[in-house]
Amino acid sequence: MHDLLLKNAQVFTGSPEAVARTLAVSGGRIAAVGCPEDAPARETVDAGGRWLLPGFVDCHTHALYAGDRMAEHLMKMQGASYADIAKAGGGIISTVKAVRAASENQLIEQTLPRLHALAAEGVTSIEIKSGYGLDLETELKMLRAIRALPRHIALDVTATFIGAHAVPPGTSRKTDMEDVLDKMRPSVAEEKLADTVDIFVEHIAFDVGDLGRLAEKAAKLGLKLRAHTDQLSNLGATRRAAELGALSCDHLEYMDEADATAMGKAGTVAVLLPAAFYFLKETRKPPVELLRRHRVSMAVATDLNPGTSPVPSLLTAMHMAGIFFGLTADEVLAGVTRNAARALGLEGRIGALAPGLDADFCLWDVPAPGFFSYQMGGIRPMQRFFKGKRT
């Protein structure tokens, strides 16, 4: 006896020819796909021929923060310079100050509306990074708040420690790395506050040497590596991160063929962040054709953050991935399901509709899954299921 049976559905299993009609759930997991329509179940839902898709996975966000950067953005739109903005108290440091001043509960309260917006669009899993503390106490506060979020919302949350996000004011880069690597990481691991670690490799942040040292420390602590690479310039960080076994490299606007080769070889996922590209009015695009040629899996995420992507909408990022980066509708869907799960190292648990995986899925009243790459806005799932329960 199954807990739940969805019948008369178009069950999306990743390829157009592999569509099943039924899906059964037991104990919060998918028990069967394509079982008989009269299989015994405590509850049977007639999907009326609608599409059943895996819950979407937003695999790259900085969704936990306090305050906003609206004033700075409005100034920028009127042509203000970085100096003007810094003088007015803007920039990442203003977020660091707001996060340091907020309590753990205030951080949770301010973050939940953004997560509800994502969940209402069919997101069932999200990754959230720390990184606005830049000191041990605040980074730990952020990670504890991230860990507490699933008590307030039906959402899977992967916590990423990104102590190496920006250089704190008043310190040299070298002192900061020592701080990050030797003080912060052990406490993060002891309290099991993080699943993965991340680093921002860029001429304005950390370098390829720092990436190597981070990877070494992370491996010892059993934490998987991810990296922000090639967003503003190519420092060779993407190929190095791939060689180091990174789960994903993210942004990638400046990556080249050597990077694509290394990623394909290592199975590192390319996470594309078109909402940040849009918000920053960037013109350089990630080389999607190279990624295809080297069989690099592509994921799409919101990069939700107060400074460069205040976009709590994965459907918007999905649409932008098609318009700006030329991803096909199939690539976009894979990018927020199985490839996003791979970027988190969770492909055996979420991101697909297959027996044994978590029963996270949504019923959509769309003519075909490609509709997400066509209509922008105004699409919501009819029903959302999280671990087999309607939410």
Rounded Cα distance between 257 and 292, Å, is 11
Give min distance, CB of 307 to Zn ion, in A.
10
Cβ distance to Zn ion smaller for residue 9 or 205: 205
Rounded Cα distance between 238 and 215, Å, is 13
Cβ distance to Zn ion smaller for residue 335 or 381: 335
Q: Which of residues 287-326 bind Zn ion (CB under 5 A)?
A: 303
Rounded Cα distance between 56 and 359, Å, is 12
CB-based contact 365:50 (threshold 8 Å): yes
Cβ distance to Zn ion smaller for residue 179 or 303: 303
Cβ distance to Zn ion smaller for residue 230 or 303: 303
Count the residues of the shown chain that bind Zn ion, applying the rule CB under 5 A: 1
User: Smallest Cα–Cα separation from 16: which of 348, 341, 328?
Assistant: 328
Cβ distance to Zn ion smaller for residue 5 or 205: 205
Cβ distance to Zn ion smaller for residue 124 or 305: 305
Q: Is 91 exposed, middle or buried (0-12, 13-18, 19+ CB in 10 A)?
A: middle
Q: Which of residues 70-129 bind Zn ion (CB under 5 A)?
A: none
Give min distance, CB of 258 to Zn ion, in A.
23
Q: How far is CA 75 from CA 79, 88, 124, 192, 312, in A?
A: 7, 10, 35, 40, 22
CA dihedral for 335, 339, 340, 343, sign (positive or negative): negative
Q: Which of residues 364-383 bind Zn ion (CB under 5 A)?
A: none
Give min distance, CB of 306 to Zn ion, in A.
12
Give min distance, CB of 66 to Zn ion, in A.
17
Q: Which of residues 254-283 bind Zn ion (CB under 5 A)?
A: none
Cβ distance to Zn ion smaller for residue 210 or 303: 303
Pairing of strands 56-58, 123-129: parallel
Nearest residue to Zn ion on Cβ basis: 303
Give min distance, CB of 157 to Zn ion, in A.
16
Q: Which residues contact 142 (CB under 8 A, 6 or more apart)?
A: 64, 99, 107, 130, 131, 132, 133
Q: How many Cα neighbours within 13 Å face the side chain of 73?
A: 12
CB-based contact 157:150 (threshold 8 Å): yes
Cβ distance to Zn ion smaller for residue 72 or 303: 303
Output the DSSP codes for 275-325.
HHHHHTT--PPP-HHHHHHTT--EEE----BTTTB----HHHHHHHHHHTT
Give min distance, CB of 280 to Zn ion, in A.
12
Give min distance, CB of 312 to Zn ion, in A.
14
Give min distance, CB of 286 to Zn ion, in A.
14
Residues of the shown chain interacting with Zn ion in the complex, contacts defined by CB under 5 A: 303
